[in-house]
Amino acid sequence: MKLAMIGFGQAGGKIVDKFVEYDQRHGSDIVRSAVAVNTAEADLMGLNHIPSSKQILIGQLSVKGHGVGADPDLGREIAEENIDEIQNALNDVPVHEIDAFLIVAGLGGGTGSGGAPVLANRLKQIHTEPVYGLGVLPGSEEGGIYTLNAARSFQTFVREVDNLLVFDNDAWQKTGESVQGGYEEINEAIATRFGVLFGAGEVGDDSEVAESVVDSSEIINTLSSGGVSTVGYASESVENPSSGGLLSRLTGQSTADDLDTASTTNRVTSLVRKAALGRLTLPAELEGTERALLVVAGPPQYLNRKGIERGRKWVEGQTDSMEVRGGDYPLMDSGKVASVILLSGVYKIDRINELQQIANEAKENIDSIRDESEENLNELVNDDEDELESLF
Ligand SMILES: Nc1nc2c(ncn2[C@@H]2O[C@H](COP(=O)(O)OP(=O)(O)OP(=O)(O)O)[C@@H](O)[C@H]2O)c(=O)[nH]1
């Protein structure tokens, strides 16, 4: 599936930058066009793979290239004022060659959180191609204001896109790890999951060897229920026949030549279960899912139709949905079999309820501090007897 990707804000830009690098590394051919939009000049300077002509700095008059300081209302305002400039950067996107737009943003800050929904709204007015969002929720240790921003942006963004794919930093951050080092690993996990998913609809000349290749229309149909989506992933290293059996000689593992059907079937079904029951990009209950898509990727010899069919039936049982699609994604040179599950239209998500509750508490706290602020300052500045006179 070919995408035009727009990274809004720092997290959005870094994640799209990672997607471009992933795409080049794996030759998956997903990113047809990549643009980064930001109010902070320094954030754009940190990007390595998005060409500088596609890095758009907005709001220079108001924030002078320093970002909006986690104020999503200012982020929204600047995006609205500069929407034509952003649109211009996308003008040379060959729209007939792309299947969808993907807008990526961290929802806890200001630039991406306020700007991404504005851009989604504009793109949907102009184009018939679907506009998807990839929204990143903040970690809980980031504090109330980030949670409040994320809850407000989530509400808006989900309404403006055809489907909001969500990644929750909170479920992925490990304790005791530096934030920067943590993001490196997290962004790689994001690129791997969505890379396999979107790459599945983009199979080239090898497709004839696959049993039932996933097509981009199946991804689009799965996402067409709208709402919120989450993704699961599991993988296992295997001996790739094209590597000449070195691993098997070293480890005694079986090679593709002597693969028996039962073990390939079992491997595939167990990977499907692991993907669905393991850590999702946004923790959600399987049974509250409207549609699902299952992709099993790896060397064609290991992609077993019976295993995928069994996995698909199992997902139907778990989700109570009759709309579960499944297929394979042959990767000739890969050394692993991977399973990706896209759960679309998920609605049983404790984390969103929790986010909204913390956001409400943060809002009440901020409002009451603002209300008391003038009174507190007066009390501090004025002397008790009211005898001092200010200079003017
Ligand atoms: N997964 C991931 N999340 C990130 C990364 N960088 C920041 N975040 C998250 O994204 C949220 C928003 O931060 P930024 O993207 O820096 O904010 P911004 O959109 O640039 O907005 P301002 O900095 O307020 O102008 C943070 O609260 C983090 O939760 C990253 O590299 N990867």
Q: What is the pLDDT of residues 278-325, one digit of tens each?
A: 999 999 999 999 999 999 999 999 998 999 999 999 999 999 899 999
pLDDT digits (tens, 9 = 90+) for 204-252: 655 445 558 899 999 999 999 899 999 999 999 998 876 655 555 455 5
Report the distance separating Cα 383 and Cα 381, nearest Å: 7
Per-residue pLDDT, 333: 87
- Ordered by start, the domain boundaries in the chain are 3-200, 229-344
Ligand 1 atom 8, closest CA? 11
Per-residue pLDDT, 358: 93
pLDDT at 270 over 80: yes
Q: Distance between terminal CA atoms of the chain? A: 67
Q: What are phi and psi of 293, to 5 degrees?
A: -135, 135
110 appears as a binding residue in the annotation? yes
Residue 332 per-residue DSSP state: T
Strand (E) or helix (H) holding 86: helix 83-89
Per-residue pLDDT, 210: 53
Q: Measured in angstroms, how far is the CA atom of residue 29 from the centroid of ligand 1?
A: 26
Report the distance separating Cα 67 and Cα 74, nearest Å: 10
Q: What are phi and psi of 102, to 5 degrees?
A: -130, 115
262 appears as a binding residue in the annotation? no
Topology (CATH level 3) of domain 229-344? 60s Ribosomal Protein L30; Chain: A; (3.30.1330)
* Structural class in CATH, domain 3-200: alpha beta
309 appears as a binding residue in the annotation? no
Per-residue pLDDT, 204: 61
ipTM above 0.90, yes or no: yes
* pTM assigned to the model: 0.93
Q: Label residue 101 by pLDDT band (50, 70, 90).
A: very high
Per-residue pLDDT, 335: 93
pLDDT digits (tens, 9 = 90+) for 167-197: 999 999 876 666 666 899 999 999 999 999 9
Single-letter amino acid, residue 63: V
Instruction: Check if 3-200 and 229-344 are the same fold.
Output: no
Q: Measured in angstroms, how far is the CA atom of residue 109 from the centroid of ligand 1?
A: 6
pLDDT digits (tens, 9 = 90+) for 109-167: 999 999 999 999 999 999 999 999 999 999 989 989 999 999 999 999 999 999 999 99
Write the burial class of residue 254 (CB in 10 Å: 0-12 exposed, 13-18 middle, 19+ buried): middle
Per-residue pLDDT, 255: 52
